Amino acid sequence: MAGFSSTTCLLLIFLLLRSSEARDILVGGKADAWAIPSSESQSLNKWAETNRFRTGDTLVWKYDSAKDSVLLVTKEDYVNCNTSSPIQQYKDGETKIVLDKSGPFYFISGTKDHCEKGQKLIVVVLSQRNRPSAVSPAPSPALAVEIDGPAVAPTPTSSASAFKAGLIVALMGVLAPLVIF
């Protein structure tokens, strides 16, 4: 089996497939996270820094619709906590927002006072096309670096997908006998 266990193969296939899939991302990583942060280190922007967002991903917000809402606003309104003319307003308690373009998205609480106390979020979205490697965010930086190796080239996208295709073909070859017998 050339040093590859079938578990490793399946894991690699899973990672490769997962990397091209749009994801649902729960804001703050938990249900009650759309709230006034208890400290700077608990802020949603700290959370956002630890995540990678790509076009096609969906942000999911869970909150008490009687007490709060989500506003998509301009940078200026984000800075000033100006809730008077949002680009979009969501107040259903379970809001899903598709990140349909790359670049920054600015969100604030619809309750001005909450925003002023830090309940706000900037998400910077990377385009799928320009991403540097075949592997997405990731629980395992070590593995990502390993796989990134061959994909780093003057034309990251094409070499990454060529590499990905090649790897899938290679893995099929390894796995086929397992399935047949």
State the residues that interact with ligand NAG by CB under 6 A.
Answer: 80, 82, 84-85
Q: Which is nearer to ligand NAG, 49 or 113 (CB)?
A: 113
Q: Which is nearer to ligand NAG, 87 or 145 (CB)?
A: 87
Residue type (1 letter), 148: D
Pairing, β 94-98 against β 58-62: antiparallel
Cβ atoms 79, 116 nearer than 8 A: no
Find the radius of gyration of the CA atoms of the chain.
20
Minimum distance from residue 35 beta carbon to ligand NAG (Å): 23
Directed axis angle between helix 6-19 and helix 156-180, to 10°?
140
Minimum distance from residue 84 beta carbon to ligand NAG (Å): 4
**Residue nearest ligand NAG, Cβ-based:** 82
Minimum distance from residue 88 beta carbon to ligand NAG (Å): 15
Q: Which is nearer to ligand NAG, 23 or 112 (CB)?
A: 112
